[in-house]
Amino acid sequence: MNKKKRMEIFQRLRNEDPAPTTELKFASNFELLISVMLSAQATDVSVNKATAKLYKVANSPEAIKNLGVTKLKKYIKTIGLFNTKAANIIKTCTLLIEKHDSQVPRTREDLEALPGVGRKTANVVLNTAFREVAMAVDTHIFRLSNRTGIAPGKNVLEVEKRLLKFVPDEFLLDAHHWLILHGRYVCVARKPRCGACMIEDLCEFKSKSVD
């Protein structure tokens, strides 16, 4: 795909949604971090339902640490991998208190040093909380990047690097959100809704077949 096509794609996405953001509900950088940790292999809807109750009783590193693993599990038991996530969240809260003055760090190195925080989670926090250019490639963005031809790659890291290279600079800050929302609601996995897609004429997905 050439530069002109990519420019047009992101211009259309921006025109449709000038200020995109995550669908996770949060009121602080800490809440965002915990929600993103919980969202791995889970839907934003399921995370929001759980955190709506959790954050009413505990929305700081100290408060969640004081809950302990057992009580935390009761709030997040509807979310996949809740046992592992609960353990990692308590450990992360402890590190935030001990090493970061209870604040969410704003460097990739410090974020990825937190238990349960990988590259994708760090990218979401850097981009959404601190408004830094970062590209969190999930299954939606990986599929969309390959299917459309925007930034094809064999793995998520390759796609991430190509998106950072090929997405026009003026769109880089919000590209993650546009792509994930388009992949979640339009360019879906099994039957992409090509007829309802605003970039269908620019897309390199020729077969219109089921993946």
Domain extents in the chain:
3-20+138-202, 29-128
75 vs 156: CA distance, rounded Å = 31
Tens digits of residue pLDDT in 6-46: 999 999 999 999 999 999 999 999 999 999 999 998 999 99
pLDDT (average), residues 125-154: 96
Q: Output the CA angle 25-30-31, nearest 5 degrees.
A: 25
Position 111 scores a pLDDT of 98
pLDDT tens digits, one per residue of 143-159: 999 999 999 999 999 99
114 pLDDT more than 90: yes
**What is the set of active-site residues?**
120, 138
Q: Which residues contact 80 (CB under 8 A, 6 or more apart)?
A: 40, 41, 42
Q: Which long-range contacts (CB under 8 A, 24 or more apart) does 55-59 make?
A: 55/27, 55/31, 59/27, 59/28, 59/30, 59/31
Distance CA(24)–CA(31), nearest Å, equals 10
pLDDT at 100 over 90: yes
Superfamily of domain 29-128: Hypothetical protein; domain 2 (1.10.340.30)
Q: What is the mean pLDDT of residues 97-107?
A: 97
Q: How high is the pLDDT of residue 207? A: 45
The answer on pLDDT for 209 being more than 90 is no
CB atoms within 10 A of CB 18: 8
User: What's 3-20+138-202's CATH class?
Assistant: mainly alpha
- Model pLDDT, residue 210: 40
pLDDT tens digits, 175-208: 999 999 999 999 999 999 999 999 999 999 864 4
Q: 29-128: same fold as 3-20+138-202?
A: no
- Kindly report, residue by residue over 52-88, the tens digit of the pLDDT: 999 999 999 999 999 999 999 999 999 999 999 999 9
Q: Which pLDDT band, with edges at 50, 70 and 90, does 211 fall under?
A: very low
Question: Helical H runs in the chain?
Answer: 3-16, 29-38, 44-57, 61-76, 82-99, 108-112, 119-128, 139-148, 156-166, 172-185
CA distance 147 to 189: 10
pLDDT at 9: 97
User: What's the pLDDT at 116?
Assistant: 96
Alpha-carbon gap, residue 26 to 112, rounded angstroms: 20
